[in-house]
Chain A
């Protein structure tokens, strides 16, 4: 879950008449977990589907609703303007086809506000922007730009001074030599052309989705903003814009529209969408019996608008709440507005009869057989290392199953046998008293055309006098109790075991496992001294 850092004081100012305690008590009921607190600063975990909560402006809107300071949907007041125009050239269609934007005026920007805008931008890029691939955003100082703008494609020799640079760089230099260029350049693929936003004086404003021009950098002196969003589809670009517009308006800016045309582009509407939900669904899902007015007030506390239409409730959902897909999302909004703390848990008697899976019952029986024979149960990971599974045990690694990019060196491949893990357990316990007898029941993985899973039982016994006949006695007893049959041990060879002290285990002529004394070389590899005997069998499904 992403995390945002906030100041209580700023939040109190934004929410209005509210105590610090009211804020900290209410945050969890908005779905916001307080990760840590240090005097005025709090770190809050928010859900990735709520980018508006990546700023204190957005969280304040939610708190106002829950605390009934301001309820109902946030309406965007966008002044229609003809001054701000972007025309789109058709050559961007194949690269990054859509652009949208808005102008925000007369705001006050301090350091904290800039910090909040940066976390918002980062969240949008990472989350709904899918690391800028789907959509990306640029926030600019409006007064440094001369309209109309053009969104077009340019070749890689095009030069401008990018953000955080003092000199002109070409597109190729930006892509090859700067951090953002290296991180996001692949989004643009191998096209010879790249997307650019230029102003009326042919000055570069932005090179989406990589970097803005230095000239439009937002500082604490900036009064008026121009926001542009580009992306691979119009809806996602407008979703992103709607979050920024909502946050800017609640930060005190007045919004003005930007007119966009050309190559299937059009001006954003950022309109509310209407959705209907039936009170009976709400009451059925929540297990409540709320009347329509209670439902409507709950929705308003969740900062939505609602009214009745016949038997149904019609909700007006602001554009930035694109996390709301359908009626079940509205059920949740009612639950949040009603207050999760007000839902009393109930226990309805079960109409069904429970039972364990037959497999679980069998495995529990096998566990009790093994403990009855004096063996201690061990548990090891399915993911292990090549060192344990193959190198130290001298086993054949031709059917190795690896996972990609594991963060842990000890967990890079799937086990195809339980024995190596148990030998490793013995190696970790050399300081404990002997005899040491361990068993494990677990899943092993075989590489076929895909991958198959089997359940195995493995036992090891280690002490000075451990020998083949000791472990064969255990095996005979186990096989009799599991299969109701006797087993035979047929001489074989196996690289983990001592030559001449190893056998295949067969039941009804079918090989089901292996038994023997662990070889000196395997023991050496694990730095083990005491004798070890073992068997491993495949258990029936």
Chain B
């Protein structure tokens, strides 16, 4: 508390209230010379810091009305009546025109004060003055007020003496006007009283460093893109080179070249996106087409149709890019990877997207064995922060043996499936002239990003919800 730094406004207000003042806002304005909105703001700050107390009370003020002013000038109507009677105007007929609208009131109050008596005869009503007429409290008050008329505010001072008269005169229309308004009385709390404004540790011109500042948002790359870039970086440092390919592919490279028969359920419309009315003209070399189709006929025993292979699809995996590259380069020794979007005709849900990113790595050459494949997986997972992994056998149409990695999701408390891997079948590699064993593995990047960002709904990545993009943690 002692180390607190105050704004100049706060300092002036505190100064005006120390040691034990209780002031209204207008009094503070007077004492400090600040603008009224500065004072109001300063009081709010001090209140938030629990240094000032604001008590609200209602104040009632009285002013003379039009009739009141007249009475001060000329006396109360009942006094005017008495004066007229003394002058000899004793009948109603004579007095009414003189007193006008005040006549009835004058009669009533004069009677109430026991100043006059009324006698009725046949011709007229006669008024006579009583003896021993005592001055009324109202009249006393009016006379006193006359002597104080120079009082600039025109406000009636309420005292024990005047209270009765004021209450009584208030009942008469336009004599006394009552107005009430709320006022704030500001004082310092006990903490506030302790503040030592002469403390030299507080530099002059200091600002309130604890106050909230306006929000700004850093422009940034997309969190999923960050994960993709991170994975690309890992592959490069593990000695892999990146290859690229199209998202639209002929069925030949997406399926046929990968030993998926043309009547296989995975090739049906319900799993794969086919482009409406679009076929590829040139899909591969005549030799590649011949050898692939022969392998299908021999192993799957069906009528292979080149038109089926020409149909354009949205790639269902990046493996089509990999196999095309291998068929072109036929390497003896190679480490390559491809990264990109793949497509599945699925119902979109918190678990599934129609379009997601896949990473795929390939090793060709003498190191290409299953234990090395598992070793690269383990190293990859370690680098993205996953250490609890195990391997289970599984099935893919184009690899043999095939494994899948299971990783332990600490947050969900269970094992989840991540990358699939295997060694390309000879039925895949031989027709394309690839002679060395090829290890391949891959999987969805969104799943890894979900683990990283703690998301349960994969759609979040493509909602581009600004509140998330502006706040999701960038550094892990």
Contact = CB atoms under 8 A, between A and B. Distances in A.
Interface string B327-347: 000000111000101010111
Contacts of A284: 369, 437
Given A354-B240, A360-B242, A346 B371 contact: yes
Interface in B250-278: 263, 265, 269-270, 273-276, 278
B211 to A, nearest CB: 19
Given A356-B236, A428-B464, A47 B395 contact: yes
Interface stretch (B43-51, B66-74, B110-118, B421-429): B421-429
A347 B379 contact: yes
B401 A331 contact: yes
A287 B402 CA distance: 15
A155 interface: no
Given A49-B397, A371-B218, A401-B276, 4 more contacts: A33-B394, A285-B401, A376-B217, A450-B279
A189 interface: no
B441 to A, nearest CB: 12
A381 interface: yes
Contacts of A327: 426
B12 interface: no
Contacts of B25: none
Contact of A352 (B334, B394, B397): B334
B393 A340 contact: yes
Contacts of A130: 263, 265
B346 A341 contact: no
Nearest to A379: B222
A352 B457 CA distance: 38
A447 B278 contact: yes
Contacts of B461: 379
B403 to A, nearest CB: 7
B464 A380 contact: yes
A351 B333 contact: yes
17 contacts: A48-B395, A233-B301, A332-B400, A335-B401, A346-B374, A347-B379, A352-B239, A360-B232, A373-B219, A381-B354, A401-B276, A404-B269, A404-B275, A406-B345, A407-B270, A414-B314, A437-B219
B468 to A, nearest CB: 10
Interface residues of A, number: 92
B239 to A, nearest CB: 3
Contact of B248 (A408, A411, A451): A451
A285 B392 contact: no
B347 A408 contact: yes
A348 interface: yes
Interface of B: 215, 217-222, 224-225, 229, 232, 235-244, 246-248, 263, 265, 269-270, 273-276, 278-281, 299, 301-302, 312, 314, 333-335, 339, 341, 343, 345-348, 353-355, 365, 367, 369-372, 374-379, 390-395, 397, 400-403, 417, 423, 425-427, 437, 461-467, 469-470
Given A328-B426, A376-B466, A381-B354, A359 B395 contact: no
Contacts of A347: 372, 375-376, 378-379
A309 B375 CA distance: 33
A336 B375 CA distance: 18
A341 B371 CA distance: 11
Interface in A417-470: 425, 428-429, 432-433, 436-438, 443, 445, 447, 449-451, 453
A328 B428 CA distance: 12
Interface stretch (A9-17, A24-32, A247-255, A489-497): A24-32
Contact of B395 (A31, A354, A404): A31
Interface in A371-408: 371-383, 401-408
A343 interface: yes
B300 to A, nearest CB: 9
Given A126-B265, A377-B222, A355 B242 contact: yes
Contacts of A451: 248, 275, 278, 312
A407 B353 CA distance: 11
B421 to A, nearest CB: 11
Given A49-B395, A356-B232, A429 B369 contact: no
A288 interface: yes
B134 to A, nearest CB: 77
Can you list the 6 inter-chain pairs with the closest CB atoms, starting with the nearest?
Answer: A350-B239, A47-B395, A287-B371, A287-B369, A332-B401, A345-B374
A285 B436 CA distance: 11
A329 interface: yes
A517 interface: no
Given A134-B263, A345-B378, A443-B247, A328 B276 contact: no
B475 to A, nearest CB: 15
A402 B369 contact: no
A432 B403 contact: no
B476 to A, nearest CB: 18
Contacts of B224: 379
Contacts of B469: 376-378
A411 B244 contact: no
B370 A287 contact: yes
B462 A381 contact: yes
A482 interface: no
A325 B398 CA distance: 12
Contacts of A429: 464-466
